[in-house]
Each structure stands twice: as C-alpha cells, then as structure tokens.
A and B are shown apart, each in its own frame.
Chain A
Amino acid sequence: MYPFSYHRPTSVRKAATMLEKAEDPKLLAGGHTLLPTMKQRLAAPSDLVDLSGVEGMDAIEVKGRTLHVGAMARHADVAASEVVQEAIPALAGLAGGIGDPHVRARGTIGGSVANNDPNADYPAACLGLGATIVTNKRKIPADDFFVGMFETALEDGEIITKVTFPIPRKAGYAKFPNPASRYALVGVFASKRGKEIRVAVTGAAPCVFRASDMEEALAARFAPKSLEGVSIADDDLNSDIHASAAYRAHLVGVMARRAVAAA
C-alpha cells in the first residue's frame, strides 16, 4: 500500500470536514473492496476516513412503510435482522448471500452501494425495490444513482448515511454466482408494490439495469409464467471467461423466473 493518513471521526459532519480538507481522501466503510485495491497499489488515497466510529450509522429500523438501513450496517447484520426479515425477506436473503461469512461480518451496504461494482448484489436490491440513497447532502432515487460501471451520482465529499427501501408486497432475488469470486454472474431482483413492478439485473452488464420488458410482462400477472418467452438482448451484456453474453442473457431469464417464484 502507498502511505496514507487514517482518521476515525465520530460524526458525519466531522467526516465531511475531513473529506474537504484532505487532498485525495477515501471513505472507509467495510474496506473489503478498497483495502484489496490499495494492497495491489491500484489506489493511493492520501487519507482514509473510517466511518465505523460514527455512532448509530448502522441502525436498521422500519418507519411507516419504509425500511431504513444505516450505511454502516454490515451485511451479516442485515441478513440476521428480524426487522429486515419481517419487512423485506428478500433483502435479508440477498445480504446473507454476499461474499462469504467473513466478508459479511465487515462489508456494509453503504460501501457496496457507493462502489457500484457491476457484479454486486445490493445495487440490484436498490434498483429492484426503488430505494432511496440518503446522503449528508440529499436524497437520491436509485433510478438516478447507479450511473455506470463503478460510477454513481455521488459527488466529492458526499457521504451515504442510509438507504431507505419502500416495503413491497412481494420481492424476490435470485443469484447465479460467479464460480470463482462468488459475486453475481447474474442476479435478478424482482418486486411488486401496488402497481409498480421492478426487475433489476446485476452482474450481466457494466452497470445494474432495469429489465423493462420483463416488468411489462409481469404487470399483467406477477408470476414466473408471465416471463416465459421474454428474453433479454445480449448486445450490451458482459462477455468474459466466466460467461458469454448469450449465456448471461439466458441466465437473466432463468434468474428472473426464479426471483419471481421466490417472491
């Protein structure tokens, strides 16, 4: 790793000040993407601002018909949370399938969402549930948040404080893991809330996206059968040693049906 200064502020405001003052700072949440990248000398932040000292930033609660998950909530905590299991069991299940147990003990929802790895699970949940990403400056709807590969709408100095999820009537997530990394080779999150149907796909393309044809097909009836014959074009899908675009496209169909069936 290149040298850096380490800070552990006790409030979001102090963290924001540190971000402003530092030359090339990075926020440190769970660290499970950032630290390996730094170890490989592929990132060289001047300062690391560790958010784990901010009290209450890992809170999980339901307010009205919305689930609030603090940015520093660890994957293991979301998975094990009775509040989440009750409100959106598919989200608890998704969190329980991220990485491995040790990664889940450290990784956070805020870190995952801010990183927007094309193969990460949480972006599918955010987009598939119509979540709102709340920062120290504003509230960003998931539809506007995930901009591109490892790219989000976050601006410099902006800190995610929590993610809020409207509680759906039905939701399901199906993941086809990359056999090596166990990230999502393809993951599909499907939900229904009133008239709103959302189908979000991760892993398949450079950035999480909504499968609008599938959403339309599910509008009539939210059932796996409705998706039969609905395919995803493979033109813009990823193709690599783990899966061709055609196979990914096929898997999107299979995972979408399984996600709906699980909902």
Chain B
Amino acid sequence: MSDNGIGARVTRVEDKRFITGGGHYTDDLNRAGQTYAYFLRSPHAHANVKGIDASGALAMAGVHAVLTGDDLAADEIGPLPCGWMIHSKDGSPMVTPGHPVLAQGKVRYVGDPVAVVIADTLGLAKEAAEAVSVDYEELAPVIDLESAKTAALVHDEAAANTAFEWELGDKAATQAAFDSAHHVTTLELSNNRLVPNAIEPRAAVAEYDAGLDRYTLWTTSQNPHVARLVMSAFLNIAPEHKLRVIAPDVGGGFGSKIYVYPEETVCVWASRKVKRPIRWTADRTESFLTDAHARDHVTTAEMALDEKGKILGLRVKTLANVGGYMNLFASSVPTYLYATLLSGQYNIQNIYAEVDAIYTTTTPVDAYRGAGRPEATFVVERLMEVSAREMGIDPATLRKRNFIKSFPHQTPVIMAYDAGDFDAVINKALEIADYKGFGKRKRESAKKGKLRGIGFSNYIEACGIAPSQAVGSLGAGVGLWESAEVRVNPVGTVEILTGAHTHGQGHETTFAQLVVDRLGIPFENVSIVHGDTDKVQFGMGTYGSRSGPVGMSAISKALDKVIDKGKKIAAHLLEAAEADIEFADGNFTVSGTDKAIDWTSLALGAYVAHGFPPQEIEPGLKETSFYDPTNFTFPSGCHICEVEVDPDTGVTDIISWTAVDDFGVVINPMIVEGQVHGGIAQGVGQAMLECAHYDEDGQLLTGSYMDYTMPRADNLPSFKIGTTVTECPSNPIGMKGCGEAGAIGSPPALINAITDAIGSEDLAMPATSESVWQALQTSALKQAAE
C-alpha cells in the first residue's frame, strides 16, 4: 500500500479551503446586476387559488416581476416529473397528477409556492410579497395517513388519495408459511417523518446571457447533469446545450439536493424574463417547509418462525405517505428500495409485501439517506429482536441461526446478494461491544437506579445504485450508470472529470487515491473536477452510496484505457512490440529489457506526437468511460447499542455504540469511518429525536430548530467502529459503498436497546423521553417493581 493509495488514511485535499473560509458555496456568489427572488407560499395545507393580485407589488420601485403558475403555463414550463413508474397490483400505472412548478389553481401543502417576486434587494422582495394578495378558498386538509383514503381528494385524478397499491412476493406461499408457523410475531410500526436538514440551505443563482442565448445556473445540487436533463427534457426551460448547471461546493445533501425543485427552476426561467441574474437562498423555515421530507410509513409487520426460531415467512402491509405531489424518485423509495430488502441478512423463503402510496396535503416525501432501506431494516430488525424476546432466544443467537451462509443468494424479493460474511461481522461486533459483560454492566446501572438495555441491528442494504438494465425493468426512467474522463496533461499531471458530485464525501481525496494506486504518480499531481455540466461530459450524480462503486469504477475503466493507450505509445517510443510493454509504478518498460519510459516523458510524448503512425496512434492521452454496474452492491453490518434509561424522567443516555461494517475494499478508512459516524447520528436522530409534526390543519409545527430536534454533540457518544471485508465481485475495485449504511443500520439498534431496558415493546420512533416514560408506566418491568 502506498502512502496515499487505496487503503491509506489520507487527510483530505478539500479541507484546506473549508477550514480557512475559502469554500465556494452557491450563496457566496455575487453576479453584477443581481436581483433577489422571494417566493410567496401557501399558508394553507389545501386550498383553491381563486386569484392573485400583484398590482400593488408591481407598482413598487425596484420590483422587476411577480410571476405565477399562469406565467409558467403560458411558457409551457413544467410540470415537475416523477422519474420512476410503479404499477399497481392490478397492472394499472400509478396515478401521478402533474406537479406544477408554481401552483396552478390549487395548493397542496403549507409552503407550496404560489408566486415569485423578483426585486433589487431581498428586503424589497419580501416587502413586495406582502403586497401581493392571494384569494384562497380553503379545502379540508388531509393530514392523517391512516384515514387519508377516505378524506377529501388531494388530486381529483387520484381516487382514495392513492397513487398506487403495489405488491411484491408470493402472497399464497407466504400465507402457507404463516399457517405452518410455531410462533408469529406481529408489530405495528411507524417510521417517522424526517426533514433532511443539510446545514447549507438550498440556493440558486441563475443568469441568462442574451448574447450567447444561454443560461447558467449555480445551484446546491447532488447531480447537476440530472438537474439539467430534467430542466431541458421535462420542464422545457432550454435545450441542454443552452443550459449550464454548476453545483459548486455543496453543504451536505443526504438526498434532499437530488431533486429539481420549483425555486431553481423559476430562477432560471425568470432570469431571461427580467434580463438580470437572480439569486435565491432558502431560509431555514423554507427548508423545513419545502425540502423533500423523508420516511413516513405506517406498517403492520409479521414474522413466522418454527419452534427453533427458523424464520418461515415475513409479511408487511405498509402505507407510505408521499405528501402533496409525487416527487422525482418518490415512487421508488417505498417500493423497490424498501420491500426488496425485507429479507435482511436472513434466509427467508417466503416474503410478501403490500405498499399503498398515499397523497396527503403535506410536503412531498422523497429519498433521504438510506431511502427505503432504513424502513426495511427497521421492520426486519424489530421483528427479529421481538421474536427473540417472545421466544426466549438470545437475540444474537436467533440472528445467527437464520443468517444466509452461502453466496450468491437469491432472495424471494428480487435481490441477488453477491457476497458477505454475516457471522464474521456479528462476532466482531459482539467482541467490540463486550456482549458477555453486559449482565454485569446492567447490574451496575441498576445500583444507580438506571435501567440498562442492549439492542442489535444487523442490516444489509442494496446500493451502488444501480444497474441500468435492472432499474429499467423495475420502472426507472433513466439508467444509473456513471461516467468518467481521465485527462493526462502533457506534463503528466492528471485531471479526473467525474459525474459524481462531492458534498462532504471527500471525492477529491478518495478518487485521487485510486488514481495514485493505478498510475503510481504523486498524489499532488491529480485533481478531481466535478459539478459543472460544461466541463464533465455527463453524470448521474451522488446518492444511493454510488460514487465509490459506480463512480470510481467508471474512473477505473477510463484508467484502464489510458494505460492501454500509454502502452501503445510506449511501444512506439521504445520501438518495441505493444504486447511486450508492461506498466507498473508509473513506468512503462519493455519486458525483459532495461528499456523504459517514465510517466511524465510518456505524457509529453503523447502530445508531441512526433512520428506517430497516424493510422495507428492518435495524439494525446485522454480517455472516457461509461460504467454500468452489473448488480447492486450489498454492504452489511451489525450495530450494537447500549443505553441507560432514567426511570424518573424517561431520559435515555446512549452509553456505547458499536458498528461493524463490511464495505468490501475500503479506499480511505478515515473517510469511511466518518461516513459511518454521520449516518449513525442521523439514525439516532430518527430513533429518538427527530420528527416532523403537523397539526390537524396541516401547519408544520416543527418548522425551525426551536421545535425540530436535531442531534447535537451531547446526544451522542463516541462510536466504536470496526470493519470486516468480503470483496464485492461485481465491480473492478471490490468496493460496496458506505454513505448510507449508518443511517440504515442504526435506528432499530437504539429502539431495541431502549425496549430492552424498559421491558416494553410499546415504543414508537422517535423515542422521546416522554414516550419512554409513558411506555415505562405500563411496562411489565415497572409493574414487577411495584
């Protein structure tokens, strides 16, 4: 292993600018003549818009425009698309009425944008917005998921507010498995609605150059090419060659910055209308109201076991809240990213899942770190823990008894797991967590009047999203390959242009590590270029833990091509046969001789090109690739959480957290550990702190950090992280992806630990101190003590 090749803990290249205040985020940008957009939003969850009177605002000096849904309609802009078709059980396509960029006739959640005001200053735009009067006719809000099917219609086209009623698996075979069961565990579970909360709010700066007839959009995007594609092909703003999208430094995404939202769409479109650059930055309340929300399932889950604890079948019925509109990836999240993972790490022969996607008058819901897989893991791992408790089997033992032991393994829910060693993972976790010593620690806690509990979660997820063929067959509107370009400059330095986008993941470092490893050139001679549609040929962006397994595989393929061409050039320069050229440590050598040419000389030779036979060798050294994976990748792991509960208040302290993950080949352990840490924090947030609450009128009660509980440093312990390795067989690097695993694996571990501590399974997420205290009041443990 070189000092900064694959496997090295290289400190990050990108840090220098961030620690000195030198980052370049969208809101840092200023353009000459810029104006400011402010969006007038619906104060109602559900209402008809009878009319908009902007005359007062338009009369104000410095106000350039007030634009509405009618103006967009006149220009035939929109609607915002959903990119993944789902068919209901009866074969009918999902019902996805249009999502207008600005409301047209109706608003469907508090915050739904109704008009935009563009003015010289933000203060003026806000003042002008107060002078716009909107005539609303209020309609009955639809907030409660479980009663939404019989509530007022959110979209006239969607009967019973249902977008689709989908199923996966063999219903009859699963029923038969339950019929033969020795024990059935049944749980009513909710997966709480979350707000992503990247600390950088969404922002856009848009500019139209009339001379070039070309738009430029700087925006907080995880996938600038996808943004351009959607704006061009679906929203009709401008053809792709007339629109440049730049995603500069982006302050966290977690999924929420995948989507094309109304605000950046409007800014681009309107920049031509007002003939001035337009900037917009969300404030935090706007972020809460309009960033795509997450999760929000209600599920009945059942698991059938034989007398030895062998799982015979698993069945779920889930209601998924999609909010007021079906967002870009929203339909795939509660279906193919959810039910396909219901086998967990276990050999389960019979699985049947039903998912109904329901419209409500709430903020649209879409993918957020883990997207579907945390929901699946929560179902499976709560069932495992509760089954173990009900059957009196040690929870680790029950899991081991059911582990899949040989690979590849075809589950009954589409996925073909390619590699893993679940015993190795759990054994390492048990050791790090000192599972054997738990009983003693529990007694010590009891002496202090505290209730100690331990909880497990063994997750598997499918990421490296995704093989185009597979997702296409499941309804995706796009392929999910990745592209890369390797530019070798005449002096031998290398620029990697990638379609992945880094917004915290450290690609500028890890991608360079791969290049160093393959080319044997100095680390500082490599730079990573991303986030600009004018520079990078194309890209599907960063989400679904795909930048390593898919994005780096594309780079690897392009590097192969560069080396191949280098050999051809070396053969010419060294007057040898191409077959005799070997490449190692940055040198091309002629096998069995001392003839060699170093990397720098070869690069220069490639561009000098003197004497190249034109039919055989083109000048230059630059190669591109499009890499399409052949399978998902399957990271797996085990989280063990230990808590102490204060029975007087219900306050839970997380005493220790162990996570052992199998991510396949790890490029930079420091960065991978950081991804795990952050994922666990978000999972802990979901499990005991975070929840988006609406009141019955559809007002978001948790619209700021005063009311939405973000994980803070004092909510969390330091984490104990371990890794095991089974290489991923389906990509050239052997890596599996690590970005989402922490958020996928962690929530059930915490809930399993708290329920263990309090002796009650009657505990929903988030397990706030009050809900823990309430559960304790009725728990057997409490009654036994009294």
Contacts and interface: CB of A to CB of B under 8 A. Distances in A.
| Direct A–B contact in complex, judged by CB atoms less than 8 Å apart | yes
A183 B657 CA distance: 28
A1 B768 CA distance: 35
Contact of B649 (A41, A241, A254): A254
Contact of A180 (B285, B648, B708, B769): B708
B144 to A, nearest CB: 15
Contacts of B123: 1
Interface stretch (A65-73, A89-97, A163-171, A243-251): A243-251
Contacts of B770: 242-244, 247
Given A179-B768, A241-B701, A41 B126 contact: yes
Contact of A247 (B126, B285, B773): B773
B769 A179 contact: yes
B58 to A, nearest CB: 21
7 contacts: A176-B649, A180-B705, A180-B706, A181-B707, A241-B693, A242-B707, A254-B648
A181 B705 contact: yes
**6 closest A-B pairs (Cβ-Cβ)?**
A180-B709, A181-B706, A179-B709, A247-B770, A241-B693, A254-B648
B343 to A, nearest CB: 35
Interface string B66-92: 000000000000000000000000000
Interface in B751-786: 768-770, 773-774
Given A241-B693, A241-B701, A180 B707 contact: yes
Contacts of A247: 770, 773-774
A242 B706 CA distance: 11
B773 A250 contact: yes
B636 interface: no
A244 B707 CA distance: 15
Interface residues of A, number: 16
A181 B702 CA distance: 11
A250 B709 CA distance: 22
A244 B650 CA distance: 14
Interface residues of B, number: 20
B154 interface: no
Specify which of A240, A241, A243 lies most central, judged by the most chain B CB atoms within 10 Å of its CB: A241
Contacts of A240: 701
A180 B693 contact: no
A111 B701 CA distance: 26
A176 B705 CA distance: 17
Interface of B: 123, 126, 285, 648-649, 689, 693, 701-702, 705-710, 768-770, 773-774
B646 to A, nearest CB: 9
* Residue of A41, A179, A242 ringed by the most chain B CB atoms within 10 A: A179
Given A1-B123, A241-B702, A179 B689 contact: yes
Contacts of A251: 649
A250 B769 CA distance: 12
A250 B770 CA distance: 10
Interface string A205-249: 000000000000000000000000000000000001111100100
Interface centre among B126, B701, B706 (most CB of A within 10 A): B706
A120 B708 CA distance: 18
Contacts of B707: 180-181, 241-242
Contacts of A241: 693, 701-702, 707
Given A180-B710, A247-B774, 6 more contacts: A179-B689, A181-B706, A181-B707, A241-B693, A241-B702, A242-B770
A181 B712 CA distance: 11
Contacts of B773: 247, 250
Nearest to B706: A181
A170 B198 CA distance: 46
A240 B649 CA distance: 17
Q: Which of A180, A240, A242, A250 has the most chain B CB atoms closer than 10 A to its own CB? A: A180
A180 B693 CA distance: 13
Nearest to A182: B712
Contacts of A179: 689, 709, 768-769
A251 to B, nearest CB: 7
A181 B704 CA distance: 9
Interface in A248-263: 250-251, 254
Nearest to B707: A180
Contacts of A41: 126
Which of A1, A41, A250, A254: most chain B Cβ within 10 A? A250
A6 B770 CA distance: 44
Nearest to A247: B770
A263 B1 CA distance: 60
A41 B693 CA distance: 24
Nearest to A240: B701
Nearest to B689: A179
B519 to A, nearest CB: 47
A241 B694 CA distance: 10
A213 B295 CA distance: 46
Nearest to A251: B649
A68 B706 CA distance: 32
A41 B649 CA distance: 37
Interface in A32-68: 40-41
Contacts of B706: 180-181
Interface string A97-135: 000000000000000000000000000000000000000
A179 B702 CA distance: 12
A175 B629 CA distance: 54
Nearest to A255: B649
Interface string A1-38: 10000000000000000000000000000000000000
B786 to A, nearest CB: 15
A247 to B, nearest CB: 5
Name the residue in B126, B649, B769, B770 with the highest tally of chain A Cβ atoms < 10 Å from its Cβ. Answer: B770
A207 to B, nearest CB: 19
Contacts of B769: 179
Nearest to B648: A254
Contacts of B709: 179-180
A251 B773 CA distance: 11
A38 B597 CA distance: 69
B402 to A, nearest CB: 36
Contacts of B693: 241
Nearest to B650: A247
Interface string A144-184: 00000000000000000000000000000000100111000
Nearest to B710: A180
A254 B648 CA distance: 7
A242 B693 CA distance: 10
A156 B534 CA distance: 61
Contacts of A40: 285
Nearest to A248: B770
A241 B706 CA distance: 12
Contacts of A243: 770
- Scoring B123, B701, B707, B708 by chain A CB atoms within 10 A of each residue's CB, the highest score goes to B707
A13 to B, nearest CB: 34
Contacts of B649: 176, 251, 254
A247 B706 CA distance: 20
A125 to B, nearest CB: 22
A225 B378 CA distance: 42
A243 B773 CA distance: 11
Contacts of A242: 707, 770
A1 B706 CA distance: 20
Contacts of B285: 40
A83 to B, nearest CB: 29
A84 B689 CA distance: 35
Nearest to A41: B126
Contacts of B768: 179
A224 B126 CA distance: 54
A180 B126 CA distance: 28
A241 B774 CA distance: 14
A244 B773 CA distance: 12
Contacts of B774: 247
A242 B702 CA distance: 10
Nearest to A183: B706
A40 B774 CA distance: 36
Nearest to B708: A180
